[in-house]
Amino acid sequence: MSNVFDELSWRGLVAQTTDEAALREALGGRLTVYCGFDPTAPSLHFGNLVQLIVLRHLQRAGHRVLGLVGGSTGLIGDPRPTSERVLKTKEQTAADVERIAAQVRRILDVDTDNPPEFVNNLDWTAPISALDFLRDYGKYFRVNQMIKKDAVAARLDSDQGISYTEFSYQILQALDYLHLHREYGCTLQTGGQDQWGNLTSGVDLIGRAEGASVHAFTTPLLTDSSGEKFGKSAGNAIWLDPSMTSPYAFYQYWLNTEDASVVMLLKVFTDRTAEDIADLERQVAEEPFRRAAQRALAADVTTLVHGAEATAAVQRASQVLFGKEDPASLDAGTLRDACAELPRARAAVGDEVIDAIVASGLAESRKAARRTVSEGGVSLNNRKVDDPEARWTDEDFLNGDLALLKRGRKSMAAVERSA
């Protein structure tokens, strides 16, 4: 593809543009582009990853990329359509800025002759006085236009209304674009589709204040075949921080992608070529049971976010649960993550194994548990238990605290060591 805009469009990464023809032409040269990430949580999430993917494509195409972490906008918070945000302290926001900046650096390619640059909008907004803010920037905004923004309009129609604090957010984000345009020659801002109003505020501000024409485009909201928004698992957000969504849970989220959506997600989240993706699409149609496309998707995205070593570990963990690998090969954290959603029981050294089989729900009674063991239907750490009188030993607890108990090929439980 001769133009990165064509690449982004083919991958389904373009929803709205200020002027598609002008943007396509501009991307034929070298632009400075930015995307902002607010520290409204301790970690970036699924939706932010889409924006980082866009920046990676633009960076590889030779454009100058600015990664902005919102030390000031994070203190305010982009207005939500439903309710007012709870403001965090300056200290909490500063700590989240550091964590999120580190995540952005890990995903964007810094080891290149065209490295990204990183900025914090607190650096240029903190020195501005309230009077200067109103005189120098507020004068360019019209309230009748500001209240038409989707999130603002939704809040104005609610019983709760909207505070002036959150109402002013779009001015702050527009100020970011103006500052980066003046200081770095930035002429393109990207963001999610729900950010369109904030992006166009920046475009309009630069037009009024500088008489210049600049660009913006958004990525679409990603939904599955039923129209549900991607990015949550069991009601919880998919975070990029491994302490909030473990690499194992992250990998499993992608592995469990439905057939109807996997090709779309391969285009969005991986660097695989059109030929590679077409071949995986063929495999989905002809051999869906092999889940080759899902495995490719899960491996690629987990490697991007958590690294190749973490991906190899979670792949081994998956094999452990299918009985094809020794659980002792896993580190303590990966094993615990892999067992996180399994039924639980507790046992001490010297207790009978059949009691844990019953306590974990793998058998209804001690009699049923004995019969299953006698028939060879129980394994401990993927090794058959052949003695109904077997008792727990130190060696049974991997890393000293956890064991994998299995009945048949699919019924599993985790047994934690008790004192």
Whether 205 is in a domain gets the answer yes
Which of 318, 338, 358 finishes a domain?
338
Dump strand ranges (E) for 19-124: 32-37, 64-69, 117-120
Q: Are residues 404 and 281 in the same domain?
A: no
Determine the structural domain holding residue 164 and report its residue range: 4-219
Whether 109 is in a domain gets the answer yes
Distance separating alpha carbons of residues 365 and 334, to the nearest angstrom: 31
- Please indicate, yes or no, whether the overall pTM of this predicted structure exceeds 0.85: yes
Token pair of 118, please? 């990183």
Q: Are residues 37 and 88 in the same domain?
A: yes
Q: Are residues 331 and 354 in the same domain?
A: no
Whether 410 is in a domain gets the answer yes
Q: Are residues 136 and 166 in the same domain?
A: yes
pLDDT of residue 1: 44
pLDDT of residue 216: 98
Distance from the first to the final alpha carbon of the chain: 62
CB 375 within 8 A of CB 334: no
CB 175 within 8 A of CB 20: no
pLDDT of residue 236: 86
CATH number of the domain to which 256 belongs: 1.10.240.10
Full pLDDT tens readout for the chain, 419 residues: 468 999 999 999 999 999 999 999 999 999 999 999 999 899 999 999 999 999 999 999 999 999 999 999 999 888 888 888 888 899 999 999 999 999 999 999 888 899 999 999 999 999 999 999 999 999 999 999 888 888 888 888 888 889 999 999 999 999 999 999 999 999 999 999 999 999 999 999 999 999 999 999 999 999 999 999 999 887 789 999 999 999 999 999 999 999 999 999 999 999 999 999 999 999 999 999 999 999 999 999 999 999 999 999 999 998 888 878 889 889 999 999 999 889 999 999 999 999 999 999 999 999 999 999 999 999 999 999 999 999 999 999 999 999 999 999 889 999 999 97
Amino acid at 380: L
Q: pLDDT of 376-387, one tens digit each? A: 999 999 999 999
Whether 325 is in a domain gets the answer yes
Q: Give the strand order in the sheet containing 402-407.
A: 344-347, 411-417, 402-407, 378-380, 383-384
Which of 195, 219, 243 finishes a domain?
219
pLDDT of residue 2: 62
Closest by CA position to 78, among listed 48, 109, 123, 115? 48
Q: Are residues 49 and 192 in the same domain?
A: yes
- The residues, ordered by sequence, that sit 6+ positions from 356 with a Cβ below 8 Å of its Cβ are 345, 346, 347, 392, 405, 413, 415
Q: Are residues 369 and 323 in the same domain?
A: no
Residue with tokens 């207005």: 79
Q: Do strands 383-384 and 378-380 pair parallel, antiparallel, or not at all (unpaired)? A: antiparallel
Q: Are residues 182 and 287 in the same domain?
A: no
- Total domains in the chain come to 3
- The residues, ordered by sequence, that sit 6+ positions from 237 with a Cβ below 8 Å of its Cβ are 45, 46, 231, 245
DSSP secondary structure of 14-47? --EES-HHHHHHHTTS--EEEEEE--SSSS-BHH
Q: Are residues 315 and 373 in the same domain?
A: no
Whether 412 is in a domain gets the answer yes
pLDDT of residue 105: 93
CB 215 within 8 A of CB 23: yes
Helix H or strand E encompassing 250: helix 247-255
253 three-class SS: helix
Token pair of 25, please? 């032409």
Q: Are residues 17 and 53 in the same domain?
A: yes
Which of 338, 372, 406 finishes a domain?
338
Dihedrals phi, psi of 370, to nearest 5 degrees: -60, -45
Token pair of 117, please? 């640059």
Q: Do strands 232-233 and 236-237 pair parallel, antiparallel, or not at all (unpaired)? A: antiparallel
361 three-class SS: coil
Q: Are residues 332 and 375 in the same domain?
A: no
Q: Do strands 64-69 and 117-120 pair parallel, antiparallel, or not at all (unpaired)? A: parallel
